[in-house]
Structures are given as structure tokens and as C-alpha cells.
Structure 1
Amino acid sequence: MADDRRMSRRELFRGKVFKPLREAAQRGAVAGRAVSRQDISLVLLQRPPGAVAEGQFLASCTRCGDCVTACPPRAIRWAPPEAGEKRAGTPFIDPIRQPCVMCTDTPCITVCEPGVLRFELPRTMARASVDKLACLAWRGQPCRLCVDQCPMDGAIELDEANRPAINSEACTGCGVCVQVCPAPRNAINHRPLSNRPFWRG
């Protein structure tokens, strides 16, 4: 999937490439895109890939932290107490801080003994779309960071004018595009899934 234009995973993890652009993206996310302790109780949480339906997830997750420890880029975090009694201590991903990079071996699923992360379920974590009013490319400025850094082939496509659009069939909602977007107001609309499938295995 990766090609020469994309930064290595290690560079993405350490944040040494495009650091000024990432900081600009974070400044653009001040209006509630980064999940703060103040608003976390009010928002949907992005669960790791392969997560079962939210009710089933909350009932079966043991808060063991194995997926948090196994995640190579440290994208998976524990939800703080402010997330609410039922969700506190459960694993989630905040892409502004560190997105999922779609590891090919998906170690978070491998180590999940309670089975709330499953290989049998889709890896899709969120839905994403491009805000054309905020996107630099759609405003006539050269930018293709989201395309170049996306870990999923075909998830972000360029039109004839080199403007990005997200292909929902290929996008997993990992959040890499959210983190690297350099627009003053983050141009990626990103919403965690609220209707993940119930596991009946």
C-alpha cells in the first residue's frame, strides 16, 4: 500500500516530518476537534479497528489495557473518568493526538482476549469527508498531504484539479488525514461510527 511519497511509520509516529504542518492542523482543531477532558462525555469515541457494537463493547471490555500496550504508534488510549462511568478506562483513539496507522498485522485485535476487537468485523472506525470550504486544495492552494499520507489505497482520490475527495468504500476512518491536514481550520470532517455491527459468533 505504501509508496515512496509517504512518510515511514516511524516518522509518522515520532512526528518529525511535517511538524509545522501538523501543529497548524492542531491549531485548526481548537474548536472541539481534539477530544478534551471537558467535552469527552459528549462525543462518540473512536474505537480501535474491528470493534463490536458499542453496547456489546462496553459490556464485554475488561479495561485490561492490552490493546493500549500493543499499539505500535500508541494511538490507543484509555478513556479518562470524564468520559463517564461506563466508558472510563475503555480504549479509544483521538486522531488529532495520534491516529491509527492501519497496521497490517493489527496487534490490537490479536491481543484482545475479551473479543471486543475482532478480525471478523470491518476495520472501519469512523466516517470522514472533506470540508471544501476549509480545504486548501479546494481553495486553490497546492496541497495533497492527506492523499500522500493516507495508509489506505484509494481512500482519498484527487479530481482533475487535484482536489481531494474521500472514497467511503475504501476509507477506514483511521484519522491520519485529520492529523496531517495543515488548513487553518481542519478540513476533515471525522465522525466515529455509532452503528458498529453486533458480534454473534
Structure 2
Amino acid sequence: MQRRDAIKTGFSLVGLLAAGSFVYKEYANAKPVLKLRPPAALDEDEFLTRCIRCGLCVEACPFDTLKLAEFKDSGVGIGTPFFTPRDIPCYMCEDIPCVVECPTEALDPKLVTKDGALDINMAKMGVAVVDEKNCVAYFGIQCDACYRACPLIDKALWIDYKRNERTGKHAFLLPIVDSDYCTGCGKCEIACITDKAAITVLPRDMVIGKVGDNYVKGWVEGDDAKLKDVDTKMHLDSKKGIKYLNEDEL
């Protein structure tokens, strides 16, 4: 009986080792995933705290855009919802069912509500970035696939027309993204004609900079309010000046 138990224990250990080896291999080979959360997701730390991994938002999505992160999806948070625009973008449902179904407000309706009604155009899932080196429009080829795909055409994505100095005959149709309006839906990315998309949606915290309060846009009404408590007077120390003039090196 003891021998039989020992054999069973041995097989169990072998099974556990094999399973552990498989899990480790999956983890070691996992590729980092750029997290694009559903519309109205809270800031990442707060989102991860509130999300209970229920999957209701995934079930509510009519386009199968959202999926729950698996072990292989490195850096996302197992069981949390995200999407990959090049596979399936967010199709900007007006009723935003994924947000409505969230039981914990990890997807916060207030972030996509305007004048008391849901407004998907307020979503900030990410922001599109153009790779000018590989976008064929910057070669001089007249491609506007991403521009035509944008649900906020001429606001989130517009075309800058420039003369092609190389040929002297054609114009460049250059896609320009306005991060103030871009929702990060990814419809531009899936529409891109290049083998690997030359316009890519990235998480906003990776792309959007912060200029700092010491810069003022004089042409923007109210922006000079930043200077209200700032001391703009020069404070000179005459003693330091005298000491400098009396140094041996001079």
C-alpha cells in the first residue's frame, strides 16, 4: 500500500512539475501588451482596484472588441478587459453598453456623460500616433484611409495639404492627430494599409506630455491666471556681486 501511495505521489509531482514548466514557459514568452482599456476606464491604478474581473463589459460588446487578459498578456492584469485596435477597434457604440453594464464603475459613466446623456465622443481610450517614416502619405502617395475611417473626421484627425517640393506637381496629404479630440478608438489603425500600421493607438499616459504651469498661453483666455501667485520680480543679491568682482581669477 505504501509503495502504491509513493507511486501516486510521484506521478502527482511529475504532473505538477510539467504544469509549472508550461506556465513558466508561457510567462517567459509573454509579450508586453499596450493596455487600451474600454471607454470611460478610470486611471489605471483606480481601475485595477475597482475592476472585479466579471467580464460583463466583454459580454456587452456587440463587436467582440473587448477581451479579458490572460496569463500570456503581460502587463495587463489577468482577467481585466482590454482591446487591440489592429485586431478589432472600438466601434464607438452610442449607447456604450460596456460602460452601462459595469457594476463597480471601473468604467465610470460620468467620464462619458455630457448634458445628462452618454456621449461616446468624450471617451479617452488612447491617442493615435503617426509614424511619419512609414506612412505612405509622407512618401507622396495620396492615401487618406485613416482619415476616412475616423469617426471624428476633421476634428480628431485632419489632413494637412502640402506641396511636394520633390516633384513640384503633387501634394502631400498628411494625417494630423489632435489629441484633444482623439478618443483612441483605433478605427484609423485597423484601416491603415501598411503591413504594420503606420498609425498606432497608444495609452494616453505614454503619449500626452505636460508643459508645466510656468508656461502661459497668452492667446488663451484665462490661462494667465497661473501667474496670480507667482513672484515675477527679480531679486538681486548685491553682496554676491561684490564678492564675484573681488575674486582672484578676475
TM-score normalised per structure 1 = 0.72
Q: Which has the larger share of helix?
A: 2
The answer to which structure, 1 or 2, has the higher relative contact order (CA under 8 A, 6+ apart) is 1
Per the alignment, residue 21 of structure 1 pairs with none
Task: Give, in whole Å, the separation in 2 of the partners of 1:104 and 1:128.
Answer: 21
What does the per-residue CA deviation read over 1:17-41, in whole Å, with 9 as the maximum and x for residues that have no partner? xxxxxxxxxxxxxxxxxxxx721xx
Residue pairs, 1:19-38, within 5 angstroms = 38=30
Asked if 1:181 is matched to 2:173, the reply is no
8 Å contact kept, 1:46–1:193: no
Offset at residue 174 of structure 1 (A): 1.0
Pair 1:74 & 2:75 matched: no
Q: Residue 109 of structure 1 aligns with which residue?
A: 99
Alignment check: 8 A CA contact 1:44 1:194 kept: no
Q: What SS does the aligned partner of 1:81 have?
A: coil
Code of the aligned partner of 1:60: R
Cα distance change, pair 189–97 in 1 and its aligned pair in 2 (3 A): closer
What is the CA-CA distance between 1:104 and the residue it aligns to? Answer: 1.3
Query: In 2, are the aligned partners of 1:50 and 1:118 still within 8 Å (CA)?
Result: yes
Please list every run of 5 or more consecutive structure 2 residues that lacks an aligned counterpart in the other structure: 1-28, 112-121, 162-171, 207-250
2:145 aligned with 1:134? no
Write the deviation string for residues 135-159 of structure 1: whole angstroms up to 9, x where unpaired. Answer: 1111111211111111123211011
Alpha-carbon distance in 1 for matches of 2:82, 2:76: 13
**Shift, 1:86, TM fit:** 7.6
Residue 142 of structure 2 aligns with an amino acid whose one-letter code is P
Structure 1 residue 77: deviation in Å? 0.6
Q: Distance in 2 between matches of 1:76 and 1:48?
A: 7
Deviation at 1:101, TM superposition (A): 1.4
Partner of 2:156: 155
- Deviation string, structure 1 residues 110-148 (Cα, Å, up to 9, x no partner): 111111001212511112121111111111112111111
- How much does 1:74 deviate? 1.0
CA distance in 2, matches of 1:152, 1:61: 29
Identity percentage over the alignment? Answer: 38
Distance in 1 separating the partners of 2:77 and 2:109: 23
Cα separation, 2, equivalents of 1:189 and 1:149? 13
The Cα shift of 1:189 comes to 3.4
TM-aligned CA distance change 1:189 to 1:61, over 3 Å? same
Structure 1 residues not aligned, in runs of 5+: 1-36, 196-201
Could you say which residue in structure 2 is the equivalent of 1:146? 146
